[in-house]
Every structure is written in C-alpha cells, then in structure tokens.
Structure 1
Amino acid sequence: MPRPRAMTPRTAPAGSGDAGTVRKTVLPGGLRVVTETLPSVRSVSFGIWARVGSRDETPALAGATHYLEHVLFKGTKRRSALEISSVIEAVGGEMNAFTTKEFTCYYARVLDSDLPLAVDVVCDMLTSSVIDPAEVEAERNVILEEIAMTDDDPGDGVHDLFAQTLLGDTPLGRPVLGTEESVGALTRDQIARFYRRHYDPTRLVVTAAGNLDHDTVVKQVRAAFERAGALGRADAAPLGPRGGDRRIRTAGAVDVQERATEQAHLILGMPGVSRHDERRWALAVLSTALGGGMSSRLFQEVRERRGLAYSVYAHTSGYADCGLFGVYAGCRPDRLGEVLEISRESLADIAAHGLPEEEVGRAIGQLAGSTVLGLEDTGALMHRLGKSEVCWGEQLSVSGLLERYRAVTPDAVREVAAEVLSHQPSVSVIGPLKDKHTAKLHRAMAR
C-alpha cells in the first residue's frame, strides 16, 4: 500500500521554561514533540506519553494499561528484554515508566551524548513491541506481586479505597493496578488489542529536556517512527485534552476495611475540582495551608499540639472532569475518633471563615518555592512538559505557574472553601478496628 504524501512538520515556540527555550513540533500523523533546551546541563530526560490510563478500561480490562506498561519492556522486533535495559544501563542511564488513571509515561535519562540511543530505544518499545505470550504470562506473576505489595502498604491502599468510596465501581474509582481477579483473567490478545487501539501517534506526546537541539530531536523521533512504520495517516490530528463534566454525588459514606495493621489509616474528604477548573489554584493554596507542611493547621493541631499522629496531610486530585479533596492521617485505632473530629472541625471552620491573609501568604510562598525547587532536574522538567501537553494541550511557564499562585487572594480561598468544604464529607479507613472504634467513627461522622 503506498504511503501517504509527506507533509511538513509544524513547529512553533511553546513558551518559556525560564531556564530554557520550549519548542513544539507536530509531525505528520499527529505525533507531538515538545522540548526544553538547557545548555548548562550535561544530561537529557526523554519520554513518551500516551493519553491512556486506567479510566479507559472496561471492567473486563481492569489493569490492562498498567499490564501493558510492563509488557512493553519485554521485547521488540529488534531487541530482547535484556537488550532494552542493558543498552541504557551500559551508558549509565536509567529507564522507567508509570501509569496513572489518565495517562502513561515511558522515559529514560541519559548523558546528552547518549540521547540518540535513548530516542531509539524508547521509540522502539512504544512502536514495535511483540507482546510475546510467554513474556505476558511471566509478567502476570510480577504484577500480582505488585498488587500484593500495595495491599501490604495500607498508607497507600487507603487512597485507592477513598477513590472507590467517592467514585464507586467506575473506571476512576477502580485501582490503577487492577485486582488479582482482573489481572489473572487478562489474555495476551486483549492486551495486544489495547496496545493497537491506544498507542497510535495521535495519542502520543514525545518530550525531552536538557542539553539538546530541538530540530535534531524531531529528526531522530521521526526517523524512529518511520522505521517502525508507525507515523500513521499524514492528515491525522493530535487528540486533544480530555473533557467532560462528571459529578460526584457521594456524601456521608463510611467505608471501613478491616486489616491487621498497627495503625489505622484514615482519609476524610469530599469532591474537589477538575484540573480544568480555574479554582484549582485557590484549592491548592487551601490544601497547603490546611495540611501541606509542618506549619500547616492540621500538622500543628494533630501532631505538634496533641501528638495524635505521625503523618497528617491534605491533598487534592484533579482529573479531566472531576476532582477529590482529602485529609489523610495515620494513628492508633483508639485515637481515630479524636483525629476525625479535629479534622472535621478544621474543615468546617475554614468553610465558614476562610483563611487569614497570613496563612494564605505563607501557603503561596510554600507552593512557589516547592514548584521551582521541584524543577531543578531534567526529569522533572520533562514531566512538566508531558503532563502539560497531555492534560491541557499547552505549556505554562514556571513564571506563569508562580503568577497563578501569587494571584490567589484570601477571598478566592474563602470562596473555594465554602464551595468544596461545605459538602458532607465521606471517610475511608483501613486498620485493625474493633466494634468500639467503628462506633466512634460513625458517631464522629454523624455530628
């Protein structure tokens, strides 16, 4: 079959990374390449992002996205699994990948002189996996061990339980890893079909940050995809960011998972805002002031003044069409009721009165500083480029991020607090709860 007529790549500035220049090229077939050039470093982080996550799975495919992430390391038409890892490690580089509910990323970090090798290996993995049946079966046991490892960490597992409590048996409510039952039932053909469906160029974003030349990276990526015959239709356009308007209506739920642990692990929370909601900046400031550090309200009240827990923090999760807001604490079971009451009182107080200017200013300063410090290596910069392109379809500079945070006012925090924290909260708990502990939990939630 003749190949489509070649088309000229579209290249444009994508913004300023403050430390370097950000550029974006869209290749024929819809593949996007976004880079940030940093001449002062000697390394490059290179990644490919797929706009597919566990929320794209049916119940029968639960865990398929993460399973496929593992399988793509297991061999291509040109390389065995050992060769994929050994060629990168032989030059002192590192490779890895991660799966979330809405996207997947495969990446390598190498010396700038070894960037052509990283491009070749990662592109080869993404375009030419053989999905060998024997490797699929071998990796099944590895993933089941990973699920078991997560089950052994209730501090991590309670976040999955919290998502299930608020989102129910939906793709967003189910764990990214899947379950023992769903992973055990997945077949090689199901995984291969999932791969062919979701790994076409219109759903992929290539990102790189470090001592690089944008045009050279584009040429190398294009050559790798052309060699694999994976550029797709010349007139295809990139798939845009996810949208939607999912409503979370769960309120007042109490979800307890009995587990023989030393601590009880608690999340108290409610619906938040989506990642497209402009209120997310104010909610981030609110979350930081409430439980984002040692000076935060909850840390001071729960740990410093009362000694009720070692770990306590607030967090937000923003998806394309909804979000979650929660407060986590790990404590002895007999202290669970008191920790829950303090957390509820703190949320109610902020919902009614907002935060004083001093706390808002301190939280903004903390967010600004941590944002800049968190982008001090090429891996973090590559991650920011990819997530921005996949989730929002645009690049916001570090200066732009800081401006958004610094524009948050006490009134904006008060408004988002009144909206989000006024929802009746739900609670998820994993731990060794006796009847008396569960009774205290229900009484605290009923007040």
Structure 2
Amino acid sequence: MSNLASLTVALWVDSGSRHEASAARGAAHVLEHLVTTTRSEDGNLSDLCDALGGRSEAITTPEFTMYAATLPRDHFVEAWRLLRNQFLRPDLSVTHLEAERSVVLDEIAGVRADHGRLIHEVALSRLLGDHPLGYPARGLPEDVVKLTVADVVAEHRRQLASRVVPIASGGFDSDEVREAFKTFSSPVPPDERVALQAGGVVRAPRMDYVHEKVLSPRSHVLVSWVLLDRSPADDFPLSVVNRLLGGATTGALQAAFAGQEGEYSCYTYRSVFSDCAVLSAYASCGSTAIDETVRRIVRVIESAWSGVLSDPCSLERAAQALNGSLAIGMESTRLRVNWIGRAMLDGTSQLQPIAGSAAPAATMVSPSAVDGLRARLRGPQVTVLEGVSGR
C-alpha cells in the first residue's frame, strides 16, 4: 500500500519553562497556545490537519517547546509553510492573549483536579525548591493571570533567539524538505542572541516529608529519588530500572501490590532533564493505609536493588524489551521526530541504544552499571496527598 504514507514535520525549540524570565513565569506555555491558534489568510495548521485526517500537537516542557503535525505525505509544503509562519509571526494581540489565557487556566485547573498528576508537580516543587525545574511547565494560575502582551512578546523573541531545529520524518521528498529547511532562519540577528539562562544546576534537593490534604476519595503517595549529575548515557539504564521496578506490568512494585485490597494503581515513573533526573514510585491507597504504603514502596525498591536489578538475565530481558518497543515505535513518524528532536537538543551524537543491537544494551545495563546508577541516586523524598471527604 505504497500510496498510504504519512509524514511528520516539527519545530523543536531549545527553550522551555526553565528559561522564562522570573517575572513572566508561565509565558512559554501561553506562547505555545498563541502560536498554535494563530490564524491568517494562509490558514491554520490544526485546521489543515483536521481537514486531512491528520494530527497536530504542541508541548511546552521545562527544557524545550515542540510544534508538530502528522498528515498525508503530499502536504509537506503546505504544512511546513503554516508551521513556520505561525511560529515566526504568531498573533500576539491583546484579544488573542485574553482568549487563550482562559484556555490555559482551564488546563491548569484540570491538572490540579487530577491528584494522580498533581502529586508529581507537588513533589518536584518541594524536591527542587526555587530552582526553575521545580516550577510546572504549564504555569501557575497566579502567574498566568498577570502576564501581559509585553511578557509574551519578550518570551517569543527569546525563543526566536534560541536554537530552533526543523525535523521531518516519513514519506517526504528529500530534496523538497532539504530546500525548505535551508531557508529557515530566525529573524533575530546573531549578534543579538544570548545564551539561555537555565537557573543553574540542581545541587541540593530537599528531602523533607511532604504531606498535604486534598478533596479526594483516595490518597496518593509518591516516593522519589533524584539523580543530580544525569547525562545522556544514564537514560537507557534508568529506563531499564524503571521497567523492572514498576514501569511494566511485571514490575516489582506492581507485583508487590497485586491483589492488595484498596490498591488500584501503582507504577514507577522517570522525569529526565538535561542535568538531572527523578525516579518516582507512585501508589494510591485509602487514608488509613498511607504509612504502610510508603513503607512497602521503600521496602520493595530496596529489595529490588539487591534482587532483580542485580540479576544479569533480568537486566538483559528488560533491555531487549525496551529495544523491541523502540524498534516498533520508530515505525511511527511522530515517534521518530520526537526521538530525533530530543537527541539533537540533548547534544547526543547518535541515537542510543540502536534497536536490534544487543551489545550496547548489554554493556549499558550490566549489574555494575546499574549499581553505579544506584550509588548516585539521592533520596528518598516522600510526598503524600491525603484524600479527605468534602463534607
């Protein structure tokens, strides 16, 4: 079915919420909304994707902003023109800002109502303190309501002055794409560009016990460990550790909680930034089971380090599974663009591990390599959102 081919075209901006001006927090996320909803005589990228059965997306993270569209392969020129023009010349009018501000505030409220997601933001905020990585990328309501057009214009200019990488993947014409990307450049002169301020390196995470109450029928527990000196070489071993602990249905954490009355969700999760990473174990429970849930999580994780995480066979199986999911996932043009974009902004010279290559994976996740990773993790920090009745 060679006539059925798609492409994904994207812009990766080497700038995110950690680079915002301290007096304009939340501006990066608001700017993302203004870019994606800009409409001109040429049209709008989201509208084009809807009309063609495609999909557009945008995301603001602490470290980067990404705009992308996936659509039939014959529409690269039109999609690229809209994507480029919306990013370079967004509608930054007062009317547009006020309309999108309300959308952003609704999005923030939705996350704060989802306590399973909220606890991750609370944990990072307390763990990293005043460091910009401790601030949620989507912004806080009290900051978003204060943003002015001048704030967003300044954020846009700062992003234009950062590194912006266009990427395409899928069934496109190589010469056509190469020529289109060749003419893409920032309107900010090189001599006016400045290095991004990232808020410094995380050096002293806070390990205090955090306990807050929320209106919820369930309580939520998060136990976190922070890797202060993360490098790209840590990502694959950290992924293997995450999979064996609770990132897969056969993980140690899920096995420990299986069949426990009152438990309906538990998993591990990793948050990776350019200079640090956080490994977290989450579980929900009843309000009377909080202390026991925390103890069980810590006990299971500690046992895993000397058990499944020190077993070469288990490590190799997990590495093979991750390599397999990578090989399958890379059939998607969207996932290829994401993988390449992250690697380029992270400064990774090549994509590792290489799907289908067992040698690099086996070396990266040997018991000694995983033990070395454990020795560098700091923690645990415990965060609890205790569910209480609204009566």
Same fold per superposition (TM over 0.5)? yes
Q: Paired residue for 1:339?
A: 293
Given candidates 172, 193, 198, the residue that maps to 2:133 is 172
Distance 2:212 2:346 in 1: 33
Given candidates 157, 162, 168, the residue that maps to 1:196 is 157
Q: Paired residue for 2:368?
A: 411
* Matched letter for residue 344 of structure 1: V
Distance 2:175 2:68 in 1: 20
Distance 2:128 2:356 in 1: 29
Q: Paired residue for 1:70?
A: 33
Instruction: Give yes or no for the alignment of 1:250 onto 2:206.
Output: yes
What SS does the aligned partner of 1:114 have? helix
1:342 deviation in Å?
1.0
Distance 1:432 1:371 in 2: 38
Given candidates 139, 142, 145, the residue that maps to 1:181 is 142
In structure 2, the CA distance between the partners of 1:79 and 1:366, relative to structure 1 (3 Å rule), is same
Distance 2:120 2:65 in 1: 19
After TM superposition, the structure 1 = structure 2 runs for residues 18-29 of structure 1, keeping only pairs within 5 Å, are none
Given candidates 157, 168, 172, the residue that maps to 1:208 is 168
* Matched letter for residue 249 of structure 1: P
**In angstroms, what is the RMSD of aligned CA positions?**
2.9
Maintained 8 Å contact 1:285/1:405:
no
Instruction: Give yes or no for the alignment of 1:357 onto 2:312.
Output: yes
Maintained 8 Å contact 1:42/1:112:
yes
1:243 deviation in Å?
11
Instruction: Give yes or no for the alignment of 1:45 onto 2:5.
Output: no
Instruction: Give yes or no for the alignment of 1:315 onto 2:276.
Output: no
1:92 deviation in Å?
2.6
1:79 deviation in Å?
4.3
Given candidates 218, 237, 240, the residue that maps to 2:178 is 218
Maintained 8 Å contact 1:287/1:314:
yes
1:155 deviation in Å?
0.6
Distance 2:31 2:356 in 1: 33
Q: Paired residue for 1:441?
A: none
Q: Paired residue for 1:301?
A: 256
Distance 1:275 1:287 in 2: 15
1:394 deviation in Å?
3.2
In structure 2, the CA distance between the partners of 1:249 and 1:238, relative to structure 1 (3 Å rule), is closer
Maintained 8 Å contact 1:52/1:198:
yes
Maintained 8 Å contact 1:289/1:297:
yes
* Matched letter for residue 53 of structure 1: G
Q: Paired residue for 1:378?
A: 333
Maintained 8 Å contact 1:97/1:105:
yes
Q: How many corresponding residue pairs?
A: 385
After TM superposition, the structure 1 = structure 2 runs for residues 74-223 of structure 1, keeping only pairs within 5 Å, are 74-75=37-38, 78-79=41-42, 83-200=44-161, 202-223=162-183
Maintained 8 Å contact 2:223/2:380:
yes
- CA offsets 1:80-121 (integer angstroms, 9 cap, x no match): 6xx443333223322120111100100111111111111111
Question: Structure 2: 5+ residue runs without aligned partners?
Answer: none
Distance 1:287 1:222 in 2: 40
Distance 1:154 1:390 in 2: 31
Maintained 8 Å contact 2:263/2:283:
yes
- CA offsets 1:151-183 (integer angstroms, 9 cap, x no match): 110111111011012101221001111111100
1:418 deviation in Å?
3.5
Instruction: Give yes or no for the alignment of 1:390 onto 2:345.
Output: yes
In structure 2, the CA distance between the partners of 1:374 and 1:49, relative to structure 1 (3 Å rule), is same
* Matched letter for residue 37 of structure 2: K
* Matched letter for residue 141 of structure 2: E
* Matched letter for residue 189 of structure 1: A
In structure 2, the CA distance between the partners of 1:150 and 1:401, relative to structure 1 (3 Å rule), is farther
What SS does the aligned partner of 1:46 have? strand
1:331 deviation in Å?
1.8
Q: Paired residue for 1:325?
A: 279
What SS does the aligned partner of 2:217 have? coil
Scaled by the length of structure 1, what TM-score is found? 0.78
What percent identity do the matched residue pairs reach?
26
1:256 deviation in Å?
1.9
What SS does the aligned partner of 1:172 have? helix
Distance 1:152 1:399 in 2: 40
1:369 deviation in Å?
2.1
* Matched letter for residue 250 of structure 1: R
What SS does the aligned partner of 2:8 have? strand
Maintained 8 Å contact 2:202/2:228:
no
What SS does the aligned partner of 1:90 have? helix
1:393 deviation in Å?
4.8
Distance 2:3 2:225 in 1: 44
1:232 deviation in Å?
5.2
Distance 2:289 2:173 in 1: 57
Please say which structure displays the higher CA radius of gyration: 1
- CA offsets 1:95-148 (integer angstroms, 9 cap, x no match): 120111100100111111111111111011111113121010111111111111
